Structure 1
Amino acid sequence: MPNALPHFDHNEILVELKQSILNLKEKYTVNEMANTMGLSRSTLSRFINEPDYTSRDIEQRVKSFLNQEFHKVNPAASIGHYKSSISEMGFVPTQNAIQASAVLSGCMEYRDLGVIIGPAGSGKTRSVQEFMKKHPHSVIRIEGDDMMSTRDLIEEIGNELGIGEEVRYGTTRDRVRKIVRRLSQDPVMIVVDEADRLVNYSVKKLEMLRTIHDQAKVAIVLVGLPKLGTFLQRGPSMRENLSQLYSRVGFIVNLGGLRREEVMEMLAGYNIENNARDELIRIALDKERGGCRALVKALRRSLDLTDGHPITLEVVMEAKRMLLLERSRH
């Protein structure tokens, strides 16, 4: 029976994992262990017998299997320290985050206009927040909403710039001039998150942002759902002419979904049984309802339901039902 694994470098840990599986062959067949881990028999056999054959996915499944075996004979013990909250997940630099950061960096360097487009849960807002941590005095973030008028948007920008009272009164033109004046003196990049929600029946708010970009010579990045790209090219009613704005876009990226290995990295360190981990991965990779947000919600609720115990498939399925993540059956 395997004991708690000490802290070694990766090669030593790999040897320990392979040996621990070999020790269990007296109790289980390779096929039985492979089925429990969600691996093919040939994959587990190669992992055991070939010194350099491994992957992060295989290692995580083996560790989870060994942990389950360890708890069967010593329920009070634990192999290592498990993460117990979402805050311990940390930031995983996914491909989406890297691409979003590249747009933000490019716009900041060249004071350009940029667009970051992606489905819900693709990590757009988190990527912006992480970028802002690295540039705390060089970026302001505005969050759009369906009820926001041009006046509201001006006041939001003014508040972030520290001139909220100055832009509270006057004509739209006068107030925009005050923003331009401040940005000319102390330039910062403006990130407008959920920018697609600013375009409901009019493009005036986007045109106002274009004016600020042109006159203050500052970077502006619009972040939103895929329909934002359509709005920028055709307007909300497919008739407005936004060519003056769209022609100024210097950087644009259309983010996709998460990758399996990225989800595995997000789940690393949590006490999750293999079939439960597979279900959490399916939640994250779901093209319609998945993404970072769905994964975090399901994992958070699963952690709440287990209260420190291993996360099982039953727990994840209950979390899905509670969060309405299951597809309706007709």
Structure 2
Amino acid sequence: MEAVTERTTYTGGESIAERINRHISLNKKVTIASVASATGYSRTTVSRYLAGKYDADATELEAKLTAYLDTLGDVPEVEAAALAMGKGSGKRSFYESQDARNVLGVCQSSQEFLGMGIVVGRSGYGKTHALKQYARLPRVAYVECDDTMSARDLVEAIERTLGLPSGYGTIWKRVNGIRDFFNTNRGYLLIIDEADKLVSKYTQKKMEILRAIFDQSDVGLVIAGEPKLEAAIKTYLARMANRVDFYASLRGLSEQEVAEYLHDYDIAPDALEELQARARNRQTGCFRLLDRTLSNVRRILAANGGGTITLKVIQQASGMMML
């Protein structure tokens, strides 16, 4: 599993590619396919340009993309701000950390090139949140697994997320129905989250179902889970391991990313140090803990009419989390 996605188009900015990608991420009616159709270029060409992999002269392509952007207009500043932050709450609906960009990049590449991607990350690092963000896009099916799932349950969950009626008969027949769907509706991405709960040294049947769907369908597949997922695939599922095209391992928030995430808050120095620890401590810190702490801090500040986050307020917020 050496392939790593270094580039993703889900970043802010003012370049042509970034503006188009922002429209794609915020408007379900705008897709790479629709951009390609409007500009007269192939979907692959537009996709490579948006991913920063277009190595030919882009002058003519950029001219047509610019003209296309003029027909779309831009996202109004007020609307963009509302999309970036939870309405009136000060809470971001989605923060593009490097981890999040890597997850989105694996998803995008797997969908564009009908490849297989693996995403691994510790609980609380934001893996599921990023995957669900990507799942808002067209032709993306998302399934979240749990320990109680049987092979039949997994097949039913995939049928449900695709809008297929629950099938009858053997698992083999129902899997064939799923494969037929993907081969008829090309360009889909199937995301299987918490996939580490599907595999053990005693059974690999559920993961073999996913491999069979991927091998015999025109579909991209992203399998995500905690770090033990990677070891399990390498140990028990060699036929799946050698099919992996894209890979991301989440590292957690950097000190700079935490500071950026907290930029809009008035925070006392000792409180900032505590929030950094909650986000980055290697044993207990994670994005989820930081976000939950901030949610409770906002409630306390709203109730008390305060504006500055102090260490005392954080301690009160921790008490709320333990109730």
- Give the match for residue 107 of structure 2: 104
- Give the match for residue 31 of structure 2: none
Task: List, as ranges, runs of 4+ consecutive aligned residues in structure 1 with deviation greater than 4 Å.
Answer: 82-87
- Post-superposition Cα deviations, 1:162-219, rounded to whole Å, max 9, x if no partner, equal 1133x2x100100100110111111311001111112244111110000000111311
SS in 2 for 1:151: helix
SS in 1 for 2:203: coil
Q: 1:316 aligns with which of 311, 314, 317?
A: 314
Contact 2:119 2:225 in 1 (8 A): yes
Contact 2:86 2:93 in 1 (8 A): no
SS in 2 for 1:202: coil
The alignment's TM-score, normalised by the length of structure 2, stands at: 0.68
Residue 263 (structure 2) pairs with residue 262 (structure 1): no
How far apart in 1 are the matches of 2:138 and 2:246? 22
How far apart in 2 are the matches of 1:92 and 1:203? 35
The aligned runs of 1:241-280 (5 Å cut-off) are 242-280=237-275
- Post-superposition Cα deviations, 1:224-281, rounded to whole Å, max 9, x if no partner, equal 100000110113xxxxxx1111111111111112101111111121233232122111
SS in 1 for 2:147: coil
- Give the match for residue 191 of structure 2: 191
Contact 1:84 1:303 in 2 (8 A): no
How far apart in 2 are the matches of 1:87 and 1:302? 11
- Give the match for residue 181 of structure 1: 180
- Give the match for residue 212 of structure 1: 213
CA spacing shift, 1:174–1:87, aligned 2, 3 Å: farther
Q: Give RMSD over aligned pairs.
A: 2.1
- Give the match for residue 169 of structure 2: 170
> Partner letter of residue 128 of structure 1?
L
CA offset at residue 120 of structure 1? 1.3
The alignment's TM-score, normalised by the length of structure 1, stands at: 0.67
SS in 2 for 1:222: strand
Residue 140 (structure 2) pairs with residue 143 (structure 1): no
- Give the match for residue 154 of structure 1: 155
SS in 1 for 2:309: coil
SS in 2 for 1:216: coil
How far apart in 1 are the matches of 2:115 and 2:156? 23
How far apart in 2 are the matches of 1:197 and 1:107? 22
> Partner letter of residue 170 of structure 2?
T
- Give the match for residue 283 of structure 1: 278
> Partner letter of residue 112 of structure 2?
E
How far apart in 2 are the matches of 1:224 and 1:86? 30
How far apart in 2 are the matches of 1:84 and 1:289? 30
SS in 1 for 2:190: strand
How far apart in 2 are the matches of 1:306 and 1:84? 17
- Post-superposition Cα deviations, 1:82-138, rounded to whole Å, max 9, x if no partner, equal 9997663242211111211221121111101110011112121122122233xx222
How far apart in 1 are the matches of 2:249 and 2:291? 22
SS in 2 for 1:183: helix
Unpaired runs of 5+ residues, structure 1, are 1-81, 236-241, 325-330
Contact 1:83 1:269 in 2 (8 A): no
Residue 144 (structure 2) pairs with residue 130 (structure 1): no
Contact 1:89 1:267 in 2 (8 A): no
- Count of residues in Structure 1 that have an aligned counterpart in Structure 2: 234
How far apart in 1 are the matches of 2:244 and 2:92? 34
How far apart in 2 are the matches of 1:177 and 1:313? 57
CA spacing shift, 1:85–1:313, aligned 2, 3 Å: farther
- Post-superposition Cα deviations, 1:305-328, rounded to whole Å, max 9, x if no partner, equal 22241221011123234435xxxx
- Give the match for residue 36 of structure 2: none
Residue 295 (structure 2) pairs with residue 300 (structure 1): yes
Contact 2:121 2:127 in 1 (8 A): yes
Larger Rg, first or second structure (1 or 2): 1
SS in 1 for 2:94: coil
How far apart in 2 are the matches of 1:131 and 1:223? 13
How far apart in 1 are the matches of 2:184 and 2:191? 18
CA spacing shift, 1:122–1:208, aligned 2, 3 Å: same
SS in 2 for 1:219: strand
How far apart in 1 are the matches of 2:293 and 2:278? 8
How far apart in 1 are the matches of 2:278 and 2:220? 36
